[in-house]
Amino acid sequence: MGQQYALEFKESIVKRMLSPQNEYIPTLSRETGIPVDTLYTWRVKYRSRFMGAALLKDRETSSLSSEEKLSILLETMSLNEHELGEYCRQKGLYPEQIEAWKKTVLEGLLSP
């Protein structure tokens, strides 16, 4: 069986992986000695468990127009995870918000 970590420790590491810190996971892995796969698993579990509905409320971004959201999608479509994290920190956004907007656009394009 793998290494066991205290819940408080896991939560502190997960918070570093999420906005606003959005630390680069491979760097965090090197710093903590926790395998990259473990960190990704923790982040996915945390997001699905605690952030589902909260992510979609779009905080202050609900005032953004469709054109502004599309502009953000175009600006971020070629960014890697680290660059997207930086972009989101600068703009006060969450990567999950951008992903939700992308999904909405794609669904709109695919519907008859």
pLDDT in tens, 21-67: 788 999 999 999 999 999 988 887 887 666 544 544 444 556 788 88
| Position 1 confidence tier, pLDDT thresholds 50, 70, 90 | low
Range of the domain at 83: 58-112
Q: Can you tell me the distance from the alpha carbon of 1 to that of 39, in angstroms, rounded to the nearest whole number?
A: 17
- Domain end point (choices 34, 56, 78): 56
Short-list 85, 76, 79, CA closest to 43: 85
> Do 39 and 62 share a domain, yes or no?
no
Tokens of 34: 């926790």
Tell me the pTM. 0.47
Q: Mean pLDDT across the chain, nearest whole number?
A: 82
> Do 48 and 24 share a domain, yes or no?
yes
> What is the domain count for the chain?
2
> Do 5 and 47 share a domain, yes or no?
yes
